[in-house]
């Protein structure tokens, strides 16, 4: 077989033939491109800087090594930018690693630096935690690999307390090992000498907050097994007597500025750093209100008699009022887009009045209610004898923001949408929020225009346009219309009140309800809504303690411009409390009723107004709408009233995961003659929750105890958010 080593082709019969002109043109063009590419590569290699030296970490797991490498590169920054790495940044990186390893319980960890030289050779240097053997200098490393041998992880296995009576041993143990979980995590029981001493200090501080001002917590014994990493601790607690405040004595006070006897109500309480802080704040506030912004207050205990484990304390309060000042000019700075008159309407400060820092703080809070500033700082400037100006420095937020929305629910399944928000419109802090959401079952469009603090008051106003089309279980719901509302918060009672006027077009199609012959498929509804909400929960997304109450009433009438008359009332309450450690009880109660007083025909009611319970926020053995009343033939009927009760027992498994045992009860009635209920349903079930920053991700299975003939035996639900 002949070989080809020149610029000619071989014919099918093996005979050589001259190449075509087109082939020669392409061939020489490729050669020119290859030569040009080689020249450019040589020039780039000669002119471009050499790649930066590399530092990486191994031995901490596939994810841990990568995250640690990224963190070290961020911390060391410019020290890794040159072509080579010197010894100091390598040693710094090793010390940071040792600190992190010890915090994670790896007390016997070892680190070796594998240093790659310019010639490609690799030399290994052990690095100790105390740098007893520093790296050689100079060290021009082209690459460094910090090889970690973590060794045994030390965990706290047992803790014994002596001298502890102010709290249970289980509560005190939580300062050393975190909260008690159903599945204890090793990360919560990590042992490090510094961590144990910090925990002892925190326990000591807690005892002092409870009135044991002489409390001392020491580590009596530490038994550390270096073979398996088991650690046993003996904690000695000296509580001492409980200090009680029996009297208050003012020293160095300036007459006639004598604070009233408002501290008398604090007598008999335990002396603690918190008592000292509260008393100092109360006295300081009294002087602030009288124009003494520079007042200094010191609170110290003077010990009296000690009897029966109780130490008598007299709180001595020393006051240095300083000069009485008045407010000068009030200036604004940093407001590029926001109109000054809009901001001044919120301040409500009058030059010449006594300078009260509390009023300045309140003005700052009112200014923040506009919702268009990322930051508001206040500073003072001297403006003559006895006068100070107040300057509000603001940092404005974004004028526009676009957010993508996504979610999943058992009924609507996948949801996706977009939210477009315009802030600070016309420089008057107005906001327009446009939201479009599409799911497997529904399409919704919502546009809300909000005016905060109408006319400088504490009332917010909004105008809303909305449209909704959703495929319900037995009909297709369509709603579109407009809404005007006013709302005001009442911080003193932790409540918010809202009043609104609604004008809606309600339509229903594909009606398979038993009431379809008398249901109104289309109607214009004009109504007035009143809503009051009191929320005392510790966290609205994942509540652990507190309660929430709400009441809402809707009056729809032809007099208001609609075509139907009805009244709808909804009441609800929820209660949350801890039961032991890492275990919580959640209770929910809700009741609703719709009436048709004044209507020509009390049977004719828009389908959209009736209630169709069921789903992840109702009775969880049913999907959305499946728990509605049924007619004799099995068809669904919208309820005119329902009463719902939910109870949950939640047990934490880990800090993020928890399991839930729940029971749901629902009573419904399709006619007001059967008020409050004539049909009862019960479900029990189990759930698993993963707590996120937007609320718990929930997967729950509800088993129906008394299903009707066409009801499911149970339902698996997936949702996001707390149920009640």
Q: pTM of the predicted model, to two decimals? A: 0.75
Q: Is the peptide bond preceding residue 138 cis, with omega within 30 degrees of 0?
A: yes
Neighbours of 448 (CB within 10 A): 17
Structural domains for the chain: 54-149 (no CATH), 155-238 (3.10.20.310), 242-320 (3.10.20), 327-396 (3.10.20.310), 490-501+510-720 (2.40.160.50)
Using CA atoms, how far apart are residues 266 and 206, in angstroms rounded to an integer?
20
β-bridge mates for residue 696, sequence order? 691
Helix (H) or strand (E) holding 286: helix 273-288
Using CA atoms, how far apart are residues 355 and 347, in angstroms rounded to an integer?
14
**Please, what is the end-to-end C-alpha distance for the chain in angstroms?**
85
Helix (H) or strand (E) holding 198: helix 193-209
Helix (H) or strand (E) holding 370: none
Long-range contacts of 702-711 (CB under 8 A, 24+ apart): 702/619, 702/620, 702/621, 702/622, 702/662, 702/664, 703/621, 704/621, 704/622, 705/621, 706/680, 706/681, 706/682, 707/621, 707/681, 708/630, 708/681, 709/634, 710/630, 710/634, 711/622, 711/626, 711/681
pLDDT value of position 183: 59
pLDDT value of position 170: 87
Structural contact between residues 27 and 115, judged by C-beta atoms closer than 8 angstroms? no
- How far lies 88's CA from each of 109, 138, 259, in Å? 21, 10, 60
Kind of pairing between the strands at 230-238 and 155-162: parallel
pLDDT value of position 603: 63
636 secondary structure, DSSP code: B
455 secondary structure, DSSP code: G
117 secondary structure, DSSP code: -
Structural contact between residues 236 and 215, judged by C-beta atoms closer than 8 angstroms? no
pLDDT value of position 259: 57
**What are the φ and ψ backbone dihedral angles of 15, each rounded to 5 degrees?**
-85, 135
Using CA atoms, how far apart are residues 48 and 118, in angstroms rounded to an integer?
18
Successive 10-residue mean pLDDT values, the chain, 724 residues: 37 38 41 47 46 80 84 75 82 91 91 90 92 88 91 93 92 83 69 92 94 94 92 95 91 59 80 91 91 93 90 92 94 94 92 95 93 95 94 95 88 92 94 96 96 88 97 94 96 94 95 87 94 95 95 96 94 94 92 89 80 95 95 93 97 90 97 92 97 92 96 94 91
265 secondary structure, DSSP code: G
β-bridge mates for residue 418, sequence order? 404, 436
pLDDT value of position 186: 67
53 secondary structure, DSSP code: P
**Matching residue, tokens 């009051």:** 532
Predicted confidence (pLDDT) per residue in 578-637, tens digit: 987 789 999 999 999 999 987 776 666 889 999 999 999 999 999 999 999 999 999 999
pLDDT value of position 413: 86
Using CA atoms, how far apart are residues 488 and 697, in angstroms rounded to an integer?
32
pLDDT value of position 243: 94
β-bridge mates for residue 318, sequence order? 251, 298
Using CA atoms, how far apart are residues 280 and 315, in angstroms rounded to an integer?
11
Determine the Cα angle at 253 with ends 247 and 254, to 5°: 150
pLDDT value of position 503: 97
Using CA atoms, how far apart are residues 500 and 462, in angstroms rounded to an integer?
9
Strand locations in 225-372, DSSP E?
Answer: 230-238, 242-251, 296-307, 310-320, 326-333
């Amino acid at each position: 077989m002949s070989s080809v080593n020149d610029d000619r082709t071989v014919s099918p019969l093996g005979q050589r033939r001259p190449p075509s002109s087109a082939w020669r043109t392409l061939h020489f063009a490729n050669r020119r491109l290859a030569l040009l590419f080689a020249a450019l590569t040589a020039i780039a290699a000669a002119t471009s800087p050499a790649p930066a030296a590399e530092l990486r970490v191994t031995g901490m797991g596939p994810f841990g090594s990568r995250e640690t490498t990224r963190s070290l590169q961020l911390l060391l920054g410019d020290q890794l930018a040159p072509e080579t790495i010197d010894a100091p940044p390598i040693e710094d990186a090793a010390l940071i690693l040792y600190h992190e390893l010890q915090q994670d319980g790896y007390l016997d960890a070892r680190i070796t630096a594998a240093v790659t030289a310019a010639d490609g050779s690799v030399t290994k240097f052990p690095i100790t935690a105390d740098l007893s053997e520093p790296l050689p200098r100079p060290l021009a490393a082209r690459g460094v690999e910090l090889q970690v041998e973590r060794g045994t992880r030390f965990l706290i296995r047992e803790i014994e307390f002596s001298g502890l009576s102010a709290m249970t041993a289980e509560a005190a143990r939580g300062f050393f090992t975190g909260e008690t979980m159903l599945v204890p995590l090793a990360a919560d029981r990590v042992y490090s000498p510094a961590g144990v001493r910090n925990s002892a200090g925190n326990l000591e501080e807690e005892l002092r907050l409870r009135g044991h001002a002489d409390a001392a917590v020491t580590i009596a014994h530490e038994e550390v097994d270096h073979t398996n990493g088991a650690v046993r601790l003996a904690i000695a607690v000296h509580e001492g007597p409980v200090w009680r405040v029996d009297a208050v004595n003012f020293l160095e006070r300036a007459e006639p500025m004598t604070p009233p006897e408002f501290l008398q109500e604090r007598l008999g309480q335990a002396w603690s750093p918190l008592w000292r802080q509260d008393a100092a704040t109360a006295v300081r506030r009294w002087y602030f209100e009288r124009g003494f912004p520079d007042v200094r207050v010191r609170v110290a205990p003077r010990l009296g008699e000690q009897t029966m484990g109780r130490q008598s304390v007299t709180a001595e309060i020393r006051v240095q009022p300083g000069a009485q000042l008045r407010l000068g000019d009030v200036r604004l700075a940093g407001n590029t887009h926001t109109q000054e008159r809009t901001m001044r309407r919120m301040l409500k400060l009058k030059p010449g009045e006594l300078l009260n820092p509390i009023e300045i703080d309140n003005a700052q809070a009112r200014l923040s209610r506009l919702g268009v500033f990322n930051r508001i700082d206040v500073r003072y400037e001297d403006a003559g004898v006895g006068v100070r100006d107040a300057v509000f420095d603001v940092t404005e937020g974004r004028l526009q923001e676009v957010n993508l929305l996504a979610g999943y629910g058992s009924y609507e399944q996948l949801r996706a949408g977009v939210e477009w928000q315009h802030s600070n419109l016309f420089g008057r802090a107005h906001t327009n929020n446009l939201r479009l959401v599409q799911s497997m079952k529904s399409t919704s469009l919502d546009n809300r225009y909000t005016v905060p603090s109408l006319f400088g008051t504490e009332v917010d106003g909004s105008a809303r346009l909305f449209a909704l089309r959703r495929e319900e279980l037995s009909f297709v719901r369509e709603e579109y219309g407009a809404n005007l509302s006013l709302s005001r918060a009442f911080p003193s009672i932790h409540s918010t009140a809202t009043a609104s006027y609604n004008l809606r077009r309600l339509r229903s199609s594909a009606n398979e309800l038993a009431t379809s012959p008398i249901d109104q498929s289309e109607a214009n509804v004009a109504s007035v809504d009143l809503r009051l909400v009191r929320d005392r929960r510790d966290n609205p997304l994942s509540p652990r303690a507190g309660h929430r109450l709400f009441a809402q009433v809707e009056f729809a009438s032809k007099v208001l411009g609609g075509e139907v008359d009805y009244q709808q009332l909804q009441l609800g309450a929820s209660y949350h409390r801890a039961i032991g450690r890492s275990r919580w009880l959640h209770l929910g109660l809700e009741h609703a009723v719709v009436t048709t007083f004044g209507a020509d025909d009390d049977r004719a009611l828009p389908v959209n107004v009736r209630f169709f319970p069921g789903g992840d926020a109702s009775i969880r053995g049913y999907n959305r709408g499946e728990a509605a009343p049924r007619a004799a033939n099995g068809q669904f009927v919208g309820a005119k009233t329902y009463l719902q009760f939910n109870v949950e027992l939640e047990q934490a498994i880990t800090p993020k995961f928890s399991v839930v045992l729940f029971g749901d009860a629902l009573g419904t009635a399709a006619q007001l003659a059967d008020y409050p209920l004539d049909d009862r349903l019960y479900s029990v079930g189990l759930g698993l929750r993963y707590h996120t920053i937007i609320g718990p991700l929930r997967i729950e299975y509800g088993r129906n105890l008394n299903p009707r003939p066409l009801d499911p035996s149970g339902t698996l639900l997936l949702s996001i958010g707390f149920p009640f």
